[in-house]
Amino acid sequence: MEPIIELKDADIYQRETLVLKNINLSINKGEFLYIIGKVGSGKSSLLKTFYNELPLIAGTGSVCGYQLGKIRSKEVPFLRRKLGIIFQDFQLLTDRTVYKNFEFVLKATGWFNDKAIKDRISEVLAIVEMGHAGPRMPHQLSGGEQQRIVIARALLNNPEIILADEPTGNLDPETSDALLQVFMDINKEGKTIVMATHDYPIIQRFPARKIICEANSIRELADDTEIIDFESLLEDLPTV
């Protein structure tokens, strides 16, 4: 099976700072992968490389068939249409309803038929069990509800890959579990999901493949056979 994401001997930089060195990673279509590690270890930088927010300086990489080191600026929007990106801080437009947020995204990505737009918005809201939320403003929703809306927004253009950066970081355990179940259900439908997280209890309750960013590199973690001092991973993180 050809990987849907692949990095070979890749060096990842934040401006002039080398964050991750000599990275080799292969993710197949339909996989669920956790990226864990301390704050500043490179989790978000790795995700940003996948959607070309951070250009690949050295080594080679491909995402959905696009060659990261060679991608032209005019090709980047086409790459990103194959990706659903979920941020911890939601990034919803606060001056309009959920429906108008979604309509804005669809029209910006080439949707013009009003009925098709309405139908697609209804479909993705139903997936996250938020069918009632279309006419509501973001501030009228709880944090967990907003995160469900952000997941639905990421699904609008039927992406091949979902990239999620600390999606449960500001949520209580019960809400986090409900959201992870949504992700797992989406994954069962064939979507590839890559999630950066420091939420170790979530990893325990919803096991999947996982890698750790540490010492400017990454390594694969065995499911339950490797003893990891996760308390040390979390010691420098703020209490949520």
pLDDT for 91 equals 85
183 and 144 share a domain?
A: no
Q: Is the pLDDT of residue 230 over 90?
A: no
Q: Is the pLDDT of residue 179 over 90?
A: yes
78 and 164 share a domain?
A: yes
Q: Is the pLDDT of residue 27 over 90?
A: yes
pTM of the predicted structure, to 2 decimals:
0.89
Task: Give the containing element (helix H, strand E) for 101.
Answer: helix 98-108
78 and 10 share a domain?
A: yes
Closest CA to 218 of 1, 3, 4, 8: 8
- To the nearest whole percent, how much of the chain has pLDDT over 70? 92
Residue 60 tokens, joined = 């080679």
Asked whether the beta carbons of 164 and 88 are under 8 A apart, the reply is: no
202 and 133 share a domain?
A: no
**C-beta atoms surrounding 209 within 10 Å:** 14
Domain ends where: 107, 135, 158?
A: 158
106 and 178 share a domain?
A: no
Mean model confidence pLDDT for the chain: 90
pLDDT band at 150 (very low <50, low <70, confident <90, very high): very high
Domain of 127 in residue numbering reads as 92-158
pLDDT band at 125 (very low <50, low <70, confident <90, very high): very high
Domain ends where: 158, 189, 212?
A: 158
Q: How many domains does the chain have?
A: 2
Q: What is the C-alpha to C-alpha distance for residues 176 and 110, in angstroms, rounded to an integer? A: 33
- Find all residues with CB under 8 Å of 216, minimum gap 6, and list them: 18, 19, 20, 21, 42
pLDDT tens string 197-207: 988 899 999 99
